[in-house]
Amino acid sequence: MNKLILIFLLFFTKQAIHAQVSHEIKAVSVTYLFPLIDNAGKFIRHEVFDVNIYAYKDLRLYEMPFWELGIKGEYERPPLKHEVYYLYKVGDTIGFKSENHEKLFNLCIPIDTFMKQSWFSNENFNQYSLFKDSYMKLISIKKDSITGAVEEIYDAKEKEDTTSTARCYFLYKPMIHSFGITLSRELDSIKQMRLCRVKVMNNPRLYKNLLIETAPLEFRLDEVPVEVPERYIKLFNMYYDLKKRSRQAE
């Protein structure tokens, strides 16, 4: 009987720790849907770029897809998808990046450098540029009475090329915990909500005698569940040894 009680207690202790760790780790995904156009100006499909970003206390972990090219011929194999990582502590100047899926955190890279080189950084992904570079006319505002989400629709016309026009959709949500990750600090501040979706539907236009069809471009910021929290805790805990080794190497 005592053995059964012990097993019972161990099981529920493990479950409680799992739940606590899951609660402490926050995660968001940033997605960019880029439209591909064929030589006839027709929309084919979207090229999808995405990254998951995890927060645990004052540590941040970027999980980025890494594609290994496929092999043709006798030993044919399709492309393989792996993940590479960038890990840093808020307030530091240096972070640790994986060169590939086999070499974990083997590169020391300044945080500023990593952010400048990354399409998903707050600086490179700022959707406020639509308002700075275009004439924006508000068409409608819709608010969800249950969730509080607000969708604003605008007609846009580029300032430098007024023949380039589009309809733009902005979706704001009041309760997204994204630990500083944003599609636009300016728009978040103005609306006092989190911008989580931007869709740009360009109007058909002639470009070098080619008619370009409507091709939707989209940006997304979403909260995502942490499926295996222990895996990410292990990665986060590597930071302290990495930091110690980097100091010894100085």
What pLDDT does residue 206 have? 84
Residue 59 resides in a domain: yes
Note down the domain range covering 87.
Answer: 25-249
- Predicted model pTM: 0.82
Residue 188 resides in a domain: yes
Residue 36's alpha-carbon distances to 203, 214, 244, in angstroms, are 15, 11, 45
Q: Report the phi/psi class of residue 215: left, alpha or beta, with left for phi > 0 and alpha for psi in -120 to 50.
A: beta
Q: Are 216 and 32 in contact (CB under 8 A)?
A: no
Residue 164 resides in a domain: yes
Q: pLDDT by residue (tens digit) across 75-101?
A: 554 566 778 899 999 999 999 998 776
**Domain count across the chain:** 1
Residue 3 resides in a domain: no
Residue 17 resides in a domain: no
Residue 18 resides in a domain: no
Q: Which residue has the higher pLDDT, 249 or 178?
A: 178
**Can you read off the two tokens belonging to residue 125?**
């992904």
What pLDDT does residue 72 have? 54
Residue 7 resides in a domain: no
Average pLDDT, the chain: 84
Residue 20 resides in a domain: no
**Can you read off the two tokens belonging to residue 224?**
């995502």
